Amino acid sequence: MGSPATARQEYLDWLANERRASGLTVEAYQRDIDGLLGFLTTHLGGEPDLAALAALRLADFRAWLAAQANEGAGAATRARKLAAVRGFFRFLSRRHGLTNEEVRLLESPRAHRPLPRALTREQAGSVAADIDVEAVSPANGARDVALFTLLYGCGLRISEALSLTVGRAPRPGGSEALRVLGKGGKERIVPVLPVVREAIGVWLRYHPAPAPDAPLFTGARGGPLNPGVAQRTLRHFREHAGLPRHATPHALRHSFATHLLAGGADLRSIQEMLGHASLSTTQRYTSVDTAQLLQVWHRTHPRG
C-alpha cells in the first residue's frame, strides 16, 4: 500500500498533472498535508502509516485544528488546510482503498464576519449636512448633500443610489416611499424622510439634464456618478471633519440600521428596508447596538 509520504507525493502529482493545479496551490497543499503528518507524529507518538490514517478519529482531527488555532491560524486558514486534507483523504480512498469517514464529519471552521461599524448620530448627520464644505461648485455640493443624505436617510447601498434615475427620484411633494432595486434584482420599498426629498429637490435644480431616464446623480461629463468619486469625496470630508477611518458610504447604511434599532424599530422592518434576504444578516446589528452600549458603560460608569 505504500507510506503516507509516497501517497502524498502521488496526490500532489495528480493535482499538478491531472487537475492542472497551479504550482502555488500544489505547494500550499503539500505544506498543509505535511503539517498534518507532522502533528500526528507527535500526537500519536510515532510516524503514522496508512493504517493509522484510516483509524484516525474525529477527536484527532479536532486536535489538529485546535493546534493550528493555537499557532495563530485564523478560521479561513484552518478551513483551507482542512480542504487540502479532505482532498488527500478522498485521493487515498480512490487510489488506495483507504476510507476514513471521520474527516468527512469534521465541520469546517467558519470565519467570523466583522460587526458592521456605524457612525454616531452626530457623525452621520454631519456627513449628510456638511459634505459640501469643500465642493468645487454649488452644483457639486448640492449633489453630494443629496447623495449622502439619501444613503443615511434610506439605508441604501451606494450602487443602489447611483442606479436611480431622475424619474424614480423622491422629491418634495412626491411619494413618501422609494422603490429600490437591490441585489439579485430584488425590489423593495423604503420610506423617504422629508429631509431626503428636500435635499434631492435642491440637487434637481442644478441637474444638467433632468430627463426621466437620466441618472439621478451625475458626474463631471453628465454620465452616472462613479462610486469611486463618491468614496473619495467622503474620504476627503472625514479628514477635514476628523471622522474615523470607517466613515465610508457603506457606514451610512450601517448607521441607518443601527440607529433605527436603537430607536426601537423591529428587526423584521429593518430587514425589509435594508433588503436583506436573511434575518440573520440583520441580527448582526443587535450585536453592534450591544457593543456600543457596553462602550458607553465602560466610558461613563464609575466602575467601568
Report the catalytic residues: 157, 183, 250, 253, 276, 285
Q: Which amino acid is at 95?
A: R
Burial class of residue 94, CB neighbours in 10 A (0-12, 13-18, 19+) = exposed
DSSP-assigned states of every residue in 10-73: HHHHHHHHTS---HHHHHHHHHHHHHHHHHHHHHTTS---HHHHHT--HHHHHHHHHHHHHTT-
Q: Which cell goes with 134?
A: 469643500
Produce one character per residue of 178-211: b if its CB has 16 or more CB atoms within 10 Å, e if not: bebebeeeeebebebeeebbbbbbbbbebbeebe
Name the helix (H) or strand (E) containing 228: helix 227-241
Residue pair 65/82 in contact by the 8 Å Cβ criterion: yes
What sign for the dihedral angle of Cα 15, 17, 21, 25? Answer: positive
